[in-house]
A and B are shown apart, each in its own frame.
Chain A
Amino acid sequence: MRSRTILLSFIGMLLVPFVVRAQASQPRKGAGQTANQVSNETSNRAPADFTGVWYPSTGSTLGAATPDNPGQQFVWLDAEGKPLKGPLPLTAWGQQRLKANRPTGTNTSAIDSDDPDFQCFPSGVPRVYLFLYPMEMIHTPGRVLMLFEYGHNIRQIFTDGRGHAQDAEPTWMGDSIGHWEGDTLVIDTTGFNDKTWLGYGGQPHSEALHVIERIRRLDQESLMIDITLEDPKAYTTPLHTQKKYVLKPDWNLMEFVCEDNSLNFLDYEKKTRIQK
């Protein structure tokens, strides 16, 4: 975790000038009002501007799979956009990985699970969209930033025309490059490690994971993210899903440090974390 802290600190330093600049131009007003100002200043060539604080929708057609976990599971779609029936199309390797993972369930409590999320590791993509916390998008020249409140996950999407990093060490959140197709931001992400899951169910992926996201505004107040996953090592066909985000003009991101009080409190017998 130490290396992650150092990495986040470094990225944080990189972001400071832009955050300060955005705040200076628009002192804590609604994010919807900031969009044009920031757009004019920093991304005048981008055909759309998604700057703002967004909250994941839990709408029933987009992932409210269980009453207890609204919006916390993806609805996987086939190539025609219809919900997949039956199990995910895993390869033999994928099935082996799924079997080895220990997600929470009827007989597995969170403390017995090996879910990387419960150990406060970064969420990966697209799982980062499943957490019920806001995400801020910031446009800067040559980059679009996605700041996720949950776990302080950060994505940098390079829109300056560069290709993917070559011969880079795999990462939790991947290497993202983007380009515009009309008003749609198309994000291409590779370079993942294979340590994250696609969801709470322990759905695996390999380092070959390739995520293509298409982000567009449905209207002034909502974003739709169409997601396609290709991972021929783990899945026999591409997977599709969607996530909708709703603008929260009056919100700011808050601090969320997973390690503050992660799973220790579930060890009720030992009460290791609970100090009177």
Chain B
Amino acid sequence: MRFKLPVSFIVAAGLVVPALPVSAPLLFAHHGTAEYDNTKTISLQGTVTALQYLNPHALILFTVKDDKGQTTEWTAELQSPNLLSRRGWSRSTLKPGDQIIVTGRPVKNGAKAMSGQKVAFTDGRETPNMGLPPDSSK
């Protein structure tokens, strides 16, 4: 299940780094993806406040600082911990203070929230892929 999404950029001073297309589908088995604007992909760089490793969807709470030094609180919704754990995630994959870049889709209602489809560290390390078990389409 690979597909490319149309990419657009949200311009908000200092908040957004260039977004690459997200190749992983959104797999929100609980409530679907209607909350999110599937025509937009954003990437935000920020500092982890917490990883809430809760079913049915894990959340990354993180803060983003703009070029004026203003801090904004963001939330990125991930898949369920059960699915993440089977791809190699754990509750300590992200720790408070970690510098990360989250790529995903913004919510439609304009809140400071997004889906998290890819999470990387600013030092170049990556987190395990998200998604279904690799052979689940056979």
Contacts and interface: CB of A to CB of B under 8 A. Distances in A.
A125 to B, nearest CB: 17
Contacts of B25: 67-68, 70
Give the interface size bracket for A toward B: 35 or more
B125 interface: no
A255 B83 CA distance: 11
A98 interface: no
Query: Chain A interface mostly helix, strand, loop or mixed?
Result: loop
Contact of B132 (A58, A104, A149, A257): A58
A200 B86 CA distance: 25
Interface string B68-104: 0000000101001011011000000000000000000
B107 A268 contact: yes
A257 B54 CA distance: 9
Interface in B49-65: 49-50, 52, 54-57, 59, 61
A256 B32 contact: no
A82 B75 CA distance: 43
Nearest to A262: B56
Given A149-B82, A274-B59, A274-B75, A263 B31 contact: yes
Given A58-B137, A67-B3, A261 B31 contact: no
Most buried by B among A70, A71, A132, A251: A132
A262 B113 CA distance: 16
A266 B113 CA distance: 9
A101 to B, nearest CB: 14
Interface string A237-267: 0000000001010010011111011110110
Given A57-B137, A72-B29, A268-B109, A256 B132 contact: no
A68 B82 contact: no
B137 A64 contact: yes
A246 B135 CA distance: 9
A260 B29 contact: no
A105 B34 CA distance: 6
Interface of B: 1, 3, 25-27, 29-35, 38, 49-50, 52, 54-57, 59, 61, 75, 77, 80, 82-83, 85-86, 107-109, 111-113, 132-133, 135-138
Given A72-B32, A274-B59, 13 more contacts: A56-B136, A67-B25, A70-B132, A104-B34, A109-B108, A109-B109, A131-B29, A133-B80, A150-B29, A257-B55, A261-B54, A261-B55, A274-B52
